Amino acid sequence: MQSGPHIAVNFDLGHYVAAGYDPIASSEKHHKRIGGRAPQGPQEEPGRHMPFGEGDTPLKEVLQLLRKKKYAIPALYRVRI
């Protein structure tokens, strides 16, 4: 994002949490630079993805933050088949 003001990120919550970062604090800090977000639950074990809403990603809290702060960030859900 340091490359310029027109660079945005697709914020994958599952990967972010799996790497040990706080998605709520980062959402508040960088909300103007987030172009989309993938609200999936992360792996609880390497290679094992959890069903939507399960796992340790704070999906509900992040989606409530978007609504409360009225951030114009689309929430995308990627389905694994």
Specify the DSSP class assigned to residue 10. E
pLDDT at position 5, please? 79
C-alpha 43/C-alpha 41 separation (Å) is 7
Query: Among 50, 71, 56, 48, which Cα is nearest to 22's?
Result: 56
pLDDT of the residue at 70: 93
pLDDT in tens, the chain (81 residues): 677 778 888 888 877 888 889 989 988 988 888 887 665 554 455 556 677 777 788 888 988 998 999 988 888 777 666
Q: How many Å apart are CA 81 and CA 22, to the nearest integer?
A: 28
Output the pTM of the full model: 0.71
